[in-house]
Amino acid sequence: QVQLVESGGGQVQAGGSLGLSCAASLSSFETYNMGWFRRAPGKEREFVAAISGGSGRTKYADSMKGRLTISRDNAKNTVYLQMSSLKPEDTAVYYCAADAGRAISYPYSSAEAYDVWGQGTQVTVSS
């Protein structure tokens, strides 16, 4: 059974940094496109960052560009999201997702491209 387990969430003050991890129980992990999304209270889920399988091409949400780094360690079946200069509006549950179809290596920003999701990890940024 494919599983994604996020960790690293917590509370941080505005201007601080936080790193999230997503451990995947996937064979051939290096071929999977991986994404991070978030859902803030009362808002719809939105794209944060993605990294493709293969070359590791990345894409970031415009609203957070410059404050994010997504990376992956294929030897550890783990994808990471490093966030800096956090703002109260970044408060949300952050979800890791995998594109198990992986027909094309691409950092998709659409949630519909991903078919395996983690349970999420809460990130709270206080002012």
Predicted confidence at residue 6, as pLDDT, reads 96
Q: What is the mean pLDDT for each group of 10 consecutive residues in the chain (127 residues)?
A: 91 97 92 96 96 95 94 97 97 95 88 95 97
Two tokens at 55? 């070359």
Distance CA 12, CA 124 (A): 6
